[in-house]
Amino acid sequence: MDLSKMRVPDWILGGCALVLIIDLLFFPWHSVDTVLGDFNYSATESPNGFWGILALLLALVVLVVVILRRLTTVNLPELPIPWGDALFYGAIATLAVLVIKLLLETDALGFGAWLGILLAGGMVYGGFATKQADTSTRTGSTPPTPF
């Protein structure tokens, strides 16, 4: 496993996907705090969990593809579109699913909701930069800087 094969867009895309997976699994997206006399109750819930699971699966697939493309010698199957484009569209789908999840239940949003949206936006940026780098590699031109 040679980490020098990872490009900056791959680090951005894979890193955001990894932290998003952690966010979806462990951080509260919705929280409710109630104080009843001396009794404090804090609960974390996840309404519209289907959308969260779908986003989790999309982020996992994106992360696995980034790892397989850059850190292994596995030959991925041919797609009708280039893999860089597929990663970009997967990142867009992840962001779209999380926005749907967020819009369906806007009460008592927790820290994880806002962090998740930012990380999905980072995935889209990393996916776009990956797509641009792959396109320039195929055409033989100099890749644009990702920043």
Whether pLDDT at 27 is above 90:
no
**CB count in 10 Å sphere of residue 96:** 15
Q: Which of 2-6, 52-56, 83-87, 130-134 has the lowest mean pLDDT?
A: 2-6
Alpha helices in the chain (DSSP H): 8-26, 49-71, 83-104, 111-139
Domain spans of the chain? 7-138
Whether pLDDT at 41 is above 50:
no
Higher pLDDT, 100 or 141: 100
CB-count burial class (<10 Å; 0-12, 13-18, 19+) for 10: buried
The pLDDT assigned to 32 comes to: 65
**Rounded distance between C-alpha atoms, residue 45 and residue 36, angstroms:** 19
Give the confidence band of 128 by pLDDT, cuts at 50, 70, 90.
very high
DSSP state of 38: T
**Rounded distance between C-alpha atoms, residue 134 and residue 66, angstroms:** 13
The pLDDT assigned to 123 comes to: 96
pLDDT digits 0-9 by tens, 93-109: 999 999 998 888 777 77
